[in-house]
Structure 1
Amino acid sequence: MPLKPSMLTTHPRKPQPREVRSLSCPNCGAPIQVSRRAMSYRCGKCSMPMKLEDVTVDQLNNTRTLNTMGHIHLTAHSKVDGELRCGELTVSGSYHGNAHVHGKVHMQSHSHCSGEINARSLTIDDGASFEGQLRIGPKARIEAPQLEPPEFHDPMIDPAA
């Protein structure tokens, strides 16, 4: 018995994401394409979870470690001490510490950075200052963050803890 035309269903191609962000996994280096609206992703090759959200820091005397494959923007009023691991970095304020950036670093005018920067590319506007060590280029060694396993506590062995 032949099928009626109204019973046939055509399956169009899968829709492609409109806005795509191209990244590489910080752990294994596998190329990744994700939606710009994605907040997190797990690598299909090594299964490493990663945050993709963009972060804006506008606080004074902020000491912290930021880890995202998104964009970190340090505003003109921010003073940050710590470690940054991100996809892109824009500095408008003051930063001291280590930055491991998988993309580009942009230091805007009147910004100040000191410490170590590992990145694919660096742009420094007139009036910005940098003191420290740079590793720039496509083969710059950018280490993935090491996740520490949770400590195992057995109350039978150590009841005091």
Structure 2
Amino acid sequence: MNIPLLAGALFAIFGIYLLGRALSDYKKAVASLEWPGVEGRLTDLRLWGKRNVDGEMQDAEKLIVAYEYEFKGSQYKGSSVAFYTLVYPETVEFARSHSANGDVTIYCNPKAPVESVLVPGPRKDKPYSDCILGAFGMVVGVVIAVLGFLGVIG
């Protein structure tokens, strides 16, 4: 059995899966820029995950939110901040600019109002990072598989 060929093929398949998922999420994030904004209410806003902030350990690494909103006469609940993961310092900045039980603008998909986010669009500083990671994984897997097939490795 050619282990590098098998491992490379599996790695390439995983990379293809990641790339497909990243492209789908990116398209949805871009589409969310056109979603209507509706007024809603934050029902939960918590920071968790210890991080050294200015010399002391504080909950700041991750963010949990919950919100409720009304769209076309129906009530909905959501818990997605964005189509990407907010990490420190974005989490702290978001928590400082919003408060639990406060009003917030929620962007919801008019075709499927249960889909909603508080921050529409892809990540501004790295919009293609997930696509690049998936493509890189696919390429590395293919290279390993080809080298294994040719007998260069393994």
TM-score, scaled relative to structure 2: 0.24
Larger of the two Rg values belongs to structure: 1
TM-score, scaled relative to structure 1: 0.23
Q: Which has the higher strand share?
A: 1
